[in-house]
Amino acid sequence: MAEKQNIRSLELDVLKTFFTENGEKAFRAKQVFEWLWKKQATTFDEMTNLSVGTRELLNNHFEINPVTIAEKQVSNDKTIKNAFRLHDGKITEGVLIPTPKRMTACISSQVGCSLSCAFCATGKLDRLRNIDAEEIFDQVALIKKQAEEHYQTPLSNIVYMGMGEPLLNYKNVLKSVELITSPEGLGMSPKRITVSTAGIAKMIKQLGDDEVKFNLALSLHAATDSKRSEIMPINESNSLDALSEALIYFHEKTGSRVTFEYIIFKDFNDTLEDAKDLAAFAKAVPCKINIIEYNPIDEPQFQQADPEKTDKFAAFLENTFNLIVNVRRSRGKDIDAACGQLANKNKAAV
């Protein structure tokens, strides 16, 4: 027998053709799509409004390949970290971050990462493969279910800030957003979704050309080329000037405000002079700035900035330059679920 196809990689029209060629009504395709995306069925036997014969036909030709939770850890602050097992056995991670105002899913776009940012645990891993659109969708669906079951609260936000560089998996990331926002899928607003990039100028412009409706965040972390290249090798081929030009283009095309993420490190990028550099870069486009507390990853090169200095840094940006600034305190640190800590340390990945 021929190898079974992943049914969730097919477009609706292709599935309609399959049914008509096999003597079935074309509308069966829409029924199957509803089971796959709206109801998140993981087997064809769950599709109870299809006849036994139709389900058998599907079983003979297709597979669903759902993502499963291999391991779950709950932090003292109620953050939940998941080790997700993909259909080929590879493991990636996703996090549910509950706060009083929002319930956020932090999801991954790659197994591992190829960018080697010095401060990030994921950057120490090899990039094993891109994550398919339906596998990204599954991460969101599983975390959404956790939010409802554990905290009786609906999922409010999605951030592509887990493992990997989303813009190096461009096609799958955009397709996953389409599935997540579709009324036939999870029906979430694209304004509730943020895609975070380490900074690939060409692909930021492509987002503008595609006139995406979701939010864009740039992991900046230093606002001079010399400092940024020291901690983020990608800056050597995507300079701050190139990124600034790309962000201006993106904003002109989409009208969207950009978020700058800035992990603040002790004695590296935490002075008021650094804040001035950040303000000079940020003024290119309408934006907000998230100052992020550093989370240790057994890397002696970096230490967490003093909290008072962090607050002074943020206040200086707000008061002197009239910028919108949020200080993000870390969550899930005790289970290595905080920003920059996803490194497949769980038992499932061993």
Give the CATH number for residue 58. Answer: 1.10.150.530
Q: Are residues 292 and 257 in the same domain?
A: yes
- Same domain? 51 vs 81: no
Mark residue 102 as left, alpha or beta (left: phi above 0; alpha: psi -120 to 50; beta: remaining): beta
| 270, 276 Cβ separation under 8 angstroms | no
Ranges of the chain with pLDDT below 70: 1, 123, 297-300, 330-350
In the chain the first and final C-alpha atoms are separated, in Å, by 34
The whole domain housing 345 covers 68-349
Residues 49 and 91 in one domain: no
- Do 163 and 297 belong to one domain? yes
Q: Does residue 182 sit in the same domain as residue 216?
A: yes
Among 25, 44, 63, give the residue marking a domain's end: 63
- Strands (E) across the chain are located at 5-6, 62-63, 68-74, 80-85, 91-98, 103-106, 110-111, 129-130, 157-160, 193-197, 215-219, 258-264, 287-293, 324-328
User: Are 207 and 160 in a shared domain?
Assistant: yes
Q: Which of 63, 80, 110 is the last residue of a domain?
A: 63
In the numeric block, the tokens 């340390």 are attached to 345
Residues 34 and 115 in one domain: no
Among the three residues 35, 63, 91, which one is the final residue of a domain in this structure?
A: 63
Residue 162: phi and psi, rounded to 5, are: -85, -140
**Domain shared by 125 and 204, yes or no:** yes
Same domain, yes or no, for 40 and 74?
Answer: no
* Secondary structure (DSSP) of 182-238: STTTT---GGGEEEEES--HHHHHHHHHTT--SEEEEE-S-SSHHHHHHH-GGGGTS
Helix (H/G/I), strand (E/B), else coil: 265: strand
* pTM of the predicted structure, to 2 decimals: 0.92
Residue 104 main-chain phi, psi, to 5 deg: -115, 135
Domain count, the chain: 2
Residue 158, SS3 per DSSP: strand
pLDDT in tens, 217-265: 999 999 999 999 999 999 999 999 999 999 999 999 999 999 999 999 9
Burial of 137 (0-12, 13-18, 19+ CB in 10 A): buried
CA distance 295 to 117: 14
Torsion of CA 56, 60, 65, 69, to 10 degrees: 50
Write the single-letter amino acid at 114: S
Q: What DSSP string describes 39-83?
A: S--SSGGG-TTS-HHHHHHHHHHEE----EEEEEEE-TTS-EEEE
Question: Domain check: are 134 and 42 in the same one?
Answer: no
Residues 50 and 77 in one domain: no
Q: Are residues 141 and 266 in the same domain?
A: yes
Looking only at the bridges linking them, the beta strands covering 157-160 and 103-106 are parallel
Q: What is the pLDDT of residue 350?
A: 38
Q: Catalytic residue at 93?
A: yes
**CB-neighbour burial class of residue 222 (10 A; exposed 0-12, middle 13-18, buried 19+):** buried
| Pairing verdict, β 91-98 and 103-106 | antiparallel
Assign residue 95 the CATH number of its domain. 3.20.20.70
113 is catalytic: no
The predicted structure's pLDDT at residue 89: 96
Amino acid at 326: N
Gap between the Cα atoms of 326 and 315, Å rounded: 10
Q: Catalytic: which of 24, 93, 261, 293?
A: 93
Nearest residue to 84 (alpha-carbon basis) of 45, 153, 132, 44? 132
